[in-house]
Amino acid sequence: MQIYNSLTKEKQEFIPIKKNLINMYTCGVTVYDDCHIGHARSLYIFDVIRRYLEYRGYKVNFVRNITDIDDKIIKRANELNTDWKELVDKYIASYKDDLKALGIRQGLVDKDGQEPRATKSIPDMIEYIKVLIEKGYAYEIEGDVYFDVRSFPEYGKLSGQNIDQMREGVRIEADSKKKDPLDFALWKESKENEPSWESPWGKGRPGWHIECSVMSQKFLKTDTLDIHAGGRDLIFPHHENEIAQAQAKTAKPFANYWIHHGLLTIESQKMAKSSGNFITIKYALKKYPVDALKIFYLQAHYSSSMDFSEKSMEAAKATYANIDGVMRRLVKRYKTKDASKVVPEALEAIEGFKDKFIECMDDDFNTPNAFAVLFELIHRCNNQLQKKDMYSDCFIGKVTDLIKEMAGIFGLVFMKDEDPELKKFAESRIEERNLARKNKDFKKADSIRDELLSKGIAIEDTKEGTTWRKL
C-alpha cells in the first residue's frame, strides 16, 4: 500500500508502527455554525480511508476532535448575544445530525461517550504547556504563553518553508508581546467576559494548535501517530505548529504519515461564509440523495481540489440512479437463481474485479479509479441481467457480496428506502398496476405509473419484474 506523505513530499510504502494496528487522527470541526459541504468532504473521505484500512485487515484507532473553544466561537456568541456554551451545544448537536445523515461513524470516545472536546482536556493542555516551558521551548509574558519557534530547528519542514522567509512575510503587530512575530500562542489570557480556566499563568484559555497535539496523543495513547490527516489549508500554520509542540515535548516524531485533502469550491468560487458562498450539509441532503453526494466526492482523488456545481451534482445523481436501478434488478434476479452454481470463468471474472479494486485503493486511496471499477462491475451485471445462461446465473449469484464489499468501503447504501410507508405504498400500487396489465387494462396501468411519478417514484419494467426508486 502506497500513501502520499505530505511530510516527505513523496509516495511511500505504508508501514504502521505496530503490524496490524493503526493510530489515526483527523482534525475535526469548530462548532460555531452548521457544517458545510467542504466539511462533509473531509469527514467522508477520511471515513472511506478508515473503512479501507479496516477492510485490509488493520485495527484502526481513529480519533476526530471537536474544537469547542476558539476565537470564532467567542466572536459568534457575541454577535448572537448568546452564551458560548449554548452556541457550542447547539452546533455539536447539529454536527452529530450531519454525521448520522452522511453515515459517518464516530471515532474513539471519552468516558461520557463523546468524541474528544477541547474543553474536556484543558488540564492536560496546561500540563503539556508546563513541560514546554520547562524545556525552554515556550515562555510566559503577562498571562500569555507562546511557543518559541526559533528554539525548534525543524520548524517549517511540513510546509516546506524557510523560517527567515516566513519571518519576512509576517505582519508585525504593534502591541505584540511576542519575542518573534512567528511565535504562536499556547495559552491566552482571557479578556473581560470571555470564557476562562485557572492556570499557573492566570485565567485564560488554550490556543488552537495545542488542542490537537494534546487530544491526539491523549486519546491514541502514543507519542507518535501512524497517520495525521486534515485539509490542505491546515498545513500551515496549524499542522506545522502541532509538529513543533509535540516533538519539542517528546523528542519523537509526531506522525509518520501526513495526509491532506484538497479544498472544495462552489461554482469555481472559494467557499466563504462572509460572502454567503457556502452550502450546508443539511441543505445539500435535502436536494440530493446522500449516495449521490458521496459519488460526487469519490470522482476526484482526495488530494485534488473539487468544484461543486449543479452540473456536477446532476451527473452524480444520474450515476446514482443508474447504479440503484441495476442493483434493484440484480437483487430481484438473484433471489430467483441458485447461487450454488459454479462456472469457473465467472468466478475468475469476479475475482479480477476485486483485485483491480484493491490495486486502485492501495495506490494512495485512488477512489476515482476504484469507483470506476465498481461502476464497470455494475455495467457487467447489467449485461448479464439481459442473458439467461449458466455463466450469467453464476455471475449474478456470486457477485452481490463483492458489490456490497466495495459499496461498503465507500459508505454507499443503494436501494435505501428512507420511508417505510412510501415503500409500502409503492409496492402496493405496483401490484395493482401488474394486475391491470395482466387484464390488459393499460389505461389504468398508465394512470398508476403517472400517479407514482407525481409522488416522486420512478418505476422500471424489466425481465425480472417491476422495480422502483425514489427520485
CATH of the domain at 374: 1.20.120
The reply to whether 215 and 343 lie within a common domain is no
Strands (E), 298-394: 306-308
The reply to whether 401 and 439 lie within a common domain is no
H/E stretch holding 124 = helix 122-134
Residue 352 lies in a domain: yes
For the residues 114-141, what does the mean pLDDT come to?
97
Angle at CA of residue 273, ends 270 and 279, nearest 5°? 75
Residue 63 lies in a domain: yes
Range of the domain at 433: 420-470
Domain count, the chain: 3
Grid coordinates representing 323? 447504479
The reply to whether 113 and 172 lie within a common domain is yes
The reply to whether 356 and 245 lie within a common domain is no
Query: Could you tell me the pLDDT band of residue 326, with boundaries at 50, 70 and 90?
Result: confident
Q: Which amino acid is at 323?
A: I
The reply to whether 236 and 159 lie within a common domain is yes
Running DSSP on this structure, what letter comes out for residue 67?
A: B
For the residues 52-74, what does the mean pLDDT come to?
96
The reply to whether 384 and 265 lie within a common domain is no
Mind listing the pLDDT tens digit for each residue in 341-350?
789 999 999 9
The reply to whether 219 and 340 lie within a common domain is no
Residue 44 lies in a domain: yes
Residue 304 lies in a domain: no
Q: Which amino acid is at 109?
A: V
Mind listing the pLDDT tens digit for each residue in 350-398?
999 999 999 999 999 999 999 999 999 999 999 998 888 889 888 888 8
To which residue does cell 505530505 refer?
A: 6
Last residue of a domain, one of 209, 242, 275: 275
CATH of the domain at 51: 3.40.50.620
The reply to whether 381 and 450 lie within a common domain is no
Task: Note if the bond before 420 is cis, omega within 30 degrees.
Answer: no
Last residue of a domain, one of 386, 409, 432: 409
For the residues 100-119, what does the mean pLDDT come to?
93
Provide the H-helix boundaries in 16-70.
Answer: 37-55
Determine how β-strand 269-270 pairs with β-strand 2-5.
unpaired
Average of per-residue pLDDT values in the chain: 91
The reply to whether 218 and 358 lie within a common domain is no
Residue 178 lies in a domain: yes
Residue 311 lies in a domain: no
Sign of the CA dihedral 358, 359, 362, 363?
negative
The reply to whether 456 and 346 lie within a common domain is no
Query: Could you tell me the pLDDT band of residue 89, with boundaries at 50, 70 and 90?
Result: very high
The reply to whether 244 and 111 lie within a common domain is yes
Residue 289 lies in a domain: no
The reply to whether 83 and 135 lie within a common domain is yes
For the residues 70-85, what does the mean pLDDT come to?
94
Q: Are 261 and 45 in contact (CB under 8 A)?
A: yes
pLDDT score at 258 = 98
CA dihedral 48→50→53→55, nearest 10 degrees, is: -70
Last residue of a domain, one of 275, 299, 329: 275
What pTM, to 2 d.p., does this model score?
Answer: 0.88
pLDDT score at 88 = 97
Residue 294 lies in a domain: no
Grid coordinates representing 160? 516546506
CA dihedral 299→36→290→353, nearest 10 degrees, is: 30
Residue 1 buriedness (CB in 10 A; 0-12 / 13-18 / 19+): middle
